[in-house]
């Protein structure tokens, strides 16, 4: 009996170590975009870009993600080498940012962000279902921990990069920034490179046979009402988040006159609040249900965005940034856990890939619309638009099936 208990303890410890490595890797996948959002206003000024062109650079990234996320999820569910896939994804995300350090034209920036959009689709369909399978009874909480890694990357990067920009040019910072990603990619490959997890339906099959079975499962997954409604809701939420991260630093720098270091501090506040909120929301969703947590936090996000509109260029605006981060980023892990609840275990990667594909569509549209609004009606109108998009996202949550109906859908998929 004690031998069995000891074996179980070793498995649990191994899983916790894997979760830690995966979470740190996730922080790097967010470190690079957070760096880019802070540097983007400088790129815009140096290259003479309009607000709409700045938004278009991000649109290329999200369009690439929308087109490649579903194929990426299908591949992830068909290949057992999860550690190798995560290492490849992290390298693929970081390397284009190195190329940006040498870019001197709009089209070069667009190509680099397109490559990032393709590489990023491998990480989440691999890491999130893997963690959920390791901790099935605490799915919301462990996915939230993974999300906290992203929040750490999002929060710390603006502080570090904001300080570096006082000493170096943005191009030099881009070149230096690739080092941690290469190091972490090697660590993941060494620690998790042999990790081989196949779904029960694909075990013992060749890659082509596994892919065929996954495609059949995907056809059934597209009839899952819960998944479809959550994905559309997430698309509008991504429209909110992507536009906010793109244009908030521009507003703080251009309209409020903040230095790069102070803009970085404000972005840190936004993400640090999300870091605090994510495990709280994930744990509560495991106990109280995903729907109630999602609806309440989305509604509060809309309220805070409206308050930001009323605050204008006062110091209250900065306070509301942190409040917005608390509510807006709290629901990210809850949404992902809910999608995994609704999907069969063997299709977790594909379900997450579909979720991120629809998110990428919203992320592609949001910066373009926000850039057009800023060019034609002023930068501040963007915040009213974002309040509208988060309200629309909440409406789709309202129409999701009940827990009992969702379980029947997952069983039938």
CATH number at residue 94: 1.20.1250.20
Domain that holds residue 42: 2-198+207-412
CA–CA gap between residue 212 and residue 218 (Å, rounded): 10
Residue 223's pLDDT is what? Answer: 83
Please state, rounded to an integer, the average pLDDT across all residues of the chain: 78
- Who's near 4: CB < 8 A, 6+ residues apart? none
Q: Any idea what DSSP says for residue 256?
A: S
Q: Give me the pLDDT at residue 241, please.
A: 85
Of 82 and 129, the one with more pLDDT:
129
Nearest to 64, CA basis, from 93, 100, 98: 93
Give the pLDDT score at 8. 43
Phi and psi based region of residue 196 (left: phi greater than 0; alpha: psi -120 to 50; beta: remaining)? beta
Greatest CA span in the chain, whole angstroms? 71
367: left (phi over 0), alpha (psi -120 to 50) or beta: alpha
Residue 138, pLDDT > 60, answer: yes
Name residue, tokens 């275990």. Answer: 345
Return d(Cα 129, Cα 340) in angstroms, integer: 7
- Rounded to 10 deg, the angle between the 2-47 and 139-164 helix axes is 40
pLDDT in tens, 242-299: 888 888 888 888 888 888 788 888 888 887 777 788 778 878 887 877 888 888 888 8
Provide the pLDDT for residue 194. Answer: 60
What span, in angstroms and rounded, lies between the C-alpha atoms of 299 and 92? 36
Beta partners for residue 196, in sequence order: 81
Predicted local confidence at residue 11, as pLDDT? 43
Q: How many CA atoms lie within 13 A of 229 on its CB side?
A: 16
- The stretch 177-193 carries a mean pLDDT of 78
Q: What is the pLDDT of residue 80?
A: 60
Residue 106 pLDDT greater than 70, yes or no: yes
pLDDT at site 42: 87
Residue 200 binned pLDDT confidence (cut-offs 50, 70, 90): very low
Residue 57 clears pLDDT 50, i.e. is over it: yes
10 has pLDDT over 60? no
- DSSP label at 257? -
Query: What digits encode the pLDDT tens for the residues 217-249?
Result: 777 888 888 889 999 998 998 888 888 888 888
* Pairwise CA distance, residues 214 & 316, whole Å: 50
pLDDT at 321 over 50: yes
CA 260 to chain centre: 24
Q: Are 182 and 94 in contact (CB under 8 A)?
A: yes
Helix (H, G, I), strand (E, B) or coil at 67: helix
Residues 402 and 30: their CA atoms lie apart, in Å, by: 33
Q: Is the pLDDT of residue 66 over 50?
A: yes
Higher pLDDT, 287 or 81: 287
Are the C-beta atoms of 215 and 74 separated by less than 8 Å? yes
3-state SS class at 205: coil
Helix-then-strand count for the chain, H and E: 16, 0
Residues in a beta bridge with 368: none
pLDDT (0 to 100) of residue 9 = 43
76 pLDDT more than 60: yes
Q: Is the pLDDT of residue 20 over 50?
A: yes
Q: Cβ(277)–Cβ(148) under 8 Å?
A: no
> What's the domain count of the chain?
1
Burial class (CB in 10 A: 0-12, 13-18, 19+), 334: buried
Distance of alpha carbon 252 from alpha carbon 262, whole angstroms:
9
Nearest to 185 by CA among 24, 76, 74: 24
- What is the pLDDT averaged over residues 171-184? 84
Token code pair at residue 16: 């916790």
Question: pTM here?
Answer: 0.68
pLDDT of residue 22: 84
pLDDT at 389 over 80: yes
Are 159 and 268 contacting, i.e. CB atoms less than 8 angstroms apart? yes
Average pLDDT over residues 157-177: 86
What pLDDT score does 273 carry? 79
Beta bridge partners of 81: 196
* 133 has a pLDDT exceeding 50: yes
């Amino acid at each position: 009996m004690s031998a069995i208990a000891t074996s179980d303890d070793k498995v649990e410890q191994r899983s916790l170590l894997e979760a830690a490595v995966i979470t740190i890797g996730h922080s790097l996948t967010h470190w690079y975009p957070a760096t880019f959002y802070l540097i983007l206003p400088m790129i815009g000024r140096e290259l003479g870009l309009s607000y709409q062109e700045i938004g278009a650079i991000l649109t290329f990234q999200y369009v690439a993600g929308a087109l490649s996320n579903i194929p990426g999820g299908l591949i992830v569910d068909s290949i057992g080498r999860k550690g190798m896939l995560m290492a490849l994804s992290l390298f693929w995300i970081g390397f284009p940012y190195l190329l940006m350090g040498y870019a001197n034209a709009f089209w070069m920036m667009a190509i680099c962000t397109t490559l990032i959009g393709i590489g990023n689709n491998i990480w989440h369909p691999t890491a999130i279902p893997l963690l959920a399978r390791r901790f099935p009874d605490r799915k919301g909480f462990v996915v939230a921990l993974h999300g906290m890694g992203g929040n750490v990357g999002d929060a710390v990067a603006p502080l570090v990069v904001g300080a570096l920009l006082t000493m170096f040019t943005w191009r030099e910072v881009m070149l230096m920034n690739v080092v941690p990603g290469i190091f972490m990619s090697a660590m993941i490959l060494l620690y998790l490179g042999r990790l081989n997890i196949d779904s029960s339906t694909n075990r013992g099959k060749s890659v082509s046979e596994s892919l065929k079975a996954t495609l059949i499962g995907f056809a059934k997954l597209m009839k899952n009402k819960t998944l479809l409604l959550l994905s559309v809701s997430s698309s509008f939420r991504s429209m909110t988040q992507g536009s906010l991260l793109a244009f908030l630093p521009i507003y703080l720098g251009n309209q409020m006159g903040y230095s790069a270091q102070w803009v970085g501090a404000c972005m840190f506040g936004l993400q640090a609040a999300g870091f605090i909120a994510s495990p709280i929301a994930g744990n509560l969703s495991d106990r109280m249900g995903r729907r109630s947590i999602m609806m309440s936090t989305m509604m509060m996000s809309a309220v805070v965005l409206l308050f930001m509109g009323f605050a204008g260029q006062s110091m209250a605006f900065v306070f509301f940034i942190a409040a917005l981060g608390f509510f807006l980023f709290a629901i990210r892990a809850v949404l992902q856990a809910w999608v995994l609840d609704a999907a069969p275990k063997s299709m977790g990667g594909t379900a997450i890939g579909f979720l991120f594909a629809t998110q990428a569509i919203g992320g592609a549209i949001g910066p373009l619309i926000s850039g057009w609004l800023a060019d034609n009606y002023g930068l501040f109108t963007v915040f009213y638009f974002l309040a509208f998009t988060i309200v629309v996202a909440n409406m789709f949550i309202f129409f999701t099936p009940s827990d009992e109906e969702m379980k029947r859908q997952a069983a039938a998929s």
